Chain A
Amino acid sequence: MGHGEKGRPSKSMKPSSKDDYRNAIPEDEEATYGEEIEDDYHDGEGKKKDFSKLELKPDHANRPLWACADGRIFLETFSPLYKQAYDFLIAIAEPVCRPESMHEYNLTPHSLYAAVSVGLETETIITVLSKLSKTKLPKEMIDFIHASTANYGKVKLVLKKNRYFIESPFPEVLKKLLRDEVISRARITSEAAGAEGFTVGKAMGEVVSGHNELLNEAQLAAAAEEKETHSFEIDPVQVENVKQRCLPNALNYPMMEEYDFRNDTVNPDLEVELKPHAQPRPYQEKSLSKMFGNGRARSGIIVLPCGAGKSLVGVSAACRIRKSCLCLATNAVSVDQWAFQFKLWSTIRDEQICRFTSDSKERFRGNAGVVVTTYNMVAFGGKRSEESEKIIEEIRNREWGLLLMDEVHVVPAHMFRKVISLTKSHCKLGLTATLVREDERITDLNFLIGPKLYEANWLDLVKGGFIANVQCAEVWCPMTKEFFAEYLKKENSKKKQALYVMNPNKFRACEFLIRFHEQQRGDKIIVFADNLFALTEYAMKLRKPMIYGATSHIERTKILEAFKTSRDVNTIFLSKVGDNSIDIPEANVIIQISSHAGSRRQEAQRLGRILRAKGKPQDRMAGGKEEYNAFFYSLVSTDTQEMYYSTKRQQFLIDQGYSFKVITSLPPPDSGGDLSFHHLDEQLALLGKVLSAGDDMVGLEQLEEDADDIALHKARRSLGSMSAMSGANGMVYMEYSTGKKPMGQGKPKPKDPSKRHYLFKKRYG
């Protein structure tokens, strides 16, 4: 009988919980947001809502923003109050689009969750908003803020002695949580946790009578907490699921993760300090203050453009927490760079920091220190060498004060999620420049790491001279007659990409730009090509060094060194290995000849390679000697698919306020006789080469350490999979059907048990 009772519920739970897990986030979010807002868009902009009766406050000209009932907020950047208003809005709302004089923001439950977790209270949010708004705050918005913030801060996730506890001053909240299937299943009722469970029952009556009226006051939670905390333990493997269940779109008790590092006597201190020459810039200071607002460390994500000094933020955070720190980077090169940054900015001693990569397996000495490694090394599931097995065991068993994650936009990929569940850390700090992904997994970051703590405005940093002022240009290269004829033929559908990338007009434009910048301005140039065939062809023809996936570490270092120091090497060709975290501060021109379909992230990351500020600060400011000191060219063959991708890729940068200039005739018609492929027979020879190359050769490069989730699906080079591989499929689906259908198309349910997500494998296997 007992057997039957136990068997039945769990059976009926299986499908539902699986569906919950798969659908909870996208469906709910879209149900509450997508649809409402979408409808409003159509109603509002289609039928022209009547705003003539909307009352303006008498002194509206002095107030910088306008809040709409649907959660959208518009901010005038020319207002004298802009700075204050911006700081406030960035804390409570999600930036949608930030051109020069008018910004658009959107209030979402997630953004409000982030606001509360950095210490803003419901009433403060409402009063400040209404103070700044030109009109009376719409009632819908006030209700919405109340509804989304009422429950925040009531539940905390705490890591004690390598075990996870859910803590709350309100036992009835815990009871409510335990009524949820996912959470109750994740609960561990060993003897120790049983004792904890008792405290919930025992103190209940008292709390109900005593603190009932405080229930809605999130800020008093902290005060109550000192008197009574109730907690139960949960399974470390299930932490992610539990967190997800607690998000606004499910149980709506988002968990705060705070780390009271000053009072942590269990974990040994790490004796490091920032060196005096490390002077955080104002925005770095601000982002850190969001993280350490109340003397404790909060988990979350800090978004700063590339080149704006993310590593200093990371190192400062580690120095403030002063506990062991695990720093994760995307590849071996950036591991070296992080280790270097730690030594550069802080007083850390050599034996306190170690790198753990496939090449260098340094061991941890002392009882506290910094380990720099890659996501791959930690998440790797196969067999390891004995030595690295030992190190990984150490990493797993240790309680980390800070988990520092670089380029966090890559984390949601399956293997990277594993890292978070494997390592136990009190506080997680994610750093990224581009919080966009072409798949829907960006929302996962909210429960995997934490809310977004700070996001810098690119244009403000440009104005402040902290990052380079980049001139973006899209160069339109018409297809030549012969190439376009081949492009249109059905039998060449697999070679389309190679044909538009190898377009002789594009090659000539590229050659022209390289010559111009090398000879006239003495610039350092990076040429990006995702297409390996094109990369080799271009590099060989122009006699320039190139780096791609198969280039060995030694050769890479040699080429990069030559590029940095030699006056003869001014141009290098990079495949997409160069997208992330290869630090080449010398470069200030990027020419992009082929790209990863419509990936907005890649575009932004590539731009980031040249964002590091150059020259003297006074020259860089508005009105300085040169207005632009960095150039980003994207070469596009007109009348081909590339036009579509190119426009799509630019969206992120356009939302950040960048504008793309279109250049139509390069090289100028009266010159170019000395460039390659001037004569028809040369062009035809090139065409022959492209057509005779095998389909494999002209495809995209596949990298093992590929960052984007979609590209991780191995070896799908079959016909028609290009868009799926590049993320275009998911994008089309995601963007065109927002709020219409729940997910489902993109994620078929895994039937093969071996393909199951490891969380489910544990449960069902």
Chain B
Amino acid sequence: MVNATKGLFISCDIPMAQFIVNLNATMPASQKFIIRVLDSTHLFVQPNVADMIKNAIADFREQNSYEKPT
């Protein structure tokens, strides 16, 4: 029987996929959002988490980039 789930398909590079997986792992059980890890660069997640993931990644990148103070 076919079972359809609405969700968000994420395509990214290997480290970012790991980052999202790790983010998912730190969430409490009720807020886990990954429906399935398809392969090392593709994920299928709950449809409502796009912004949350984007923000988390933006924060993470922010930490790793240096801007020359003026």
Contacts and interface: CB of A to CB of B under 8 A. Distances in A.
Contacts, number: 53
Interface string B51-70: 00000000011011110111
A340 interface: no
Interface string A375-395: 000000000000000000000
A730 B4 CA distance: 55
Contacts of A647: 65-66
Interface string B10-52: 0001111111011000100000000000001000000000000
A723 B17 CA distance: 28
B69 A481 contact: no
Interface residues of B, dominant DSSP:
helix
Given A478-B14, A479-B15, A643-B65, A485 B21 contact: yes
A41 B68 CA distance: 14
A738 B70 CA distance: 10
A642 B60 CA distance: 13
A644 B63 contact: yes
Nearest to B69: A735
Interface stretch (A8-16, A535-543, A633-641): A633-641
Contacts of B19: 484, 488, 639
A648 B69 contact: no
Contacts of A45: 70
A489 interface: yes
A692 B65 CA distance: 30
A651 interface: yes
Contacts of A352: none
Nearest to A650: B66
A764 interface: no
A480 interface: yes
Interface residues of A, number: 26
Contact of B14 (A41, A484, A640): A484
Nearest to A45: B70
Contact of B64 (A488, A490, A644, A735): A644
Interface in A458-498: 478-481, 484-485, 488-490
B22 A488 contact: yes
A641 B66 contact: no
Nearest to B14: A481
B63 A488 contact: no
Nearest to A480: B14
Contacts of B61: 639
A51 interface: no
Given A41-B70, A641-B63, A736-B69, A481 B40 contact: yes
B66 A488 contact: no
Contacts of B64: 639-644
A641 B69 CA distance: 18
Contact of B68 (A485, A642, A651): A651
Nearest to B22: A488
A644 B66 CA distance: 5
Given A735-B69, A738-B69, A484 B15 contact: yes
B13 A478 contact: yes
Nearest to A737: B69
A626 B24 CA distance: 52
A484 B18 contact: yes
Contacts of B13: 478
B18 A481 contact: yes
Contact of B22 (A480, A485, A642): A485
Q: Identify the 3 closest CB pairs spanning chains A and B, nearest first.
A: A647-B66, A488-B22, A735-B69
Interface of B: 13-19, 21-22, 26, 40, 60-61, 63-66, 68-70
Interface of A: 41, 45, 478-481, 484-485, 488-490, 598, 638-645, 647-648, 651, 735-736, 738
Given A480-B14, A481-B18, 7 more contacts: A41-B70, A639-B16, A641-B64, A643-B64, A644-B64, A647-B66, A738-B69
19 contacts: A41-B70, A478-B14, A478-B15, A479-B15, A481-B14, A481-B15, A481-B40, A484-B15, A485-B18, A485-B22, A639-B15, A639-B16, A639-B19, A639-B60, A639-B61, A640-B64, A641-B64, A647-B65, A735-B69
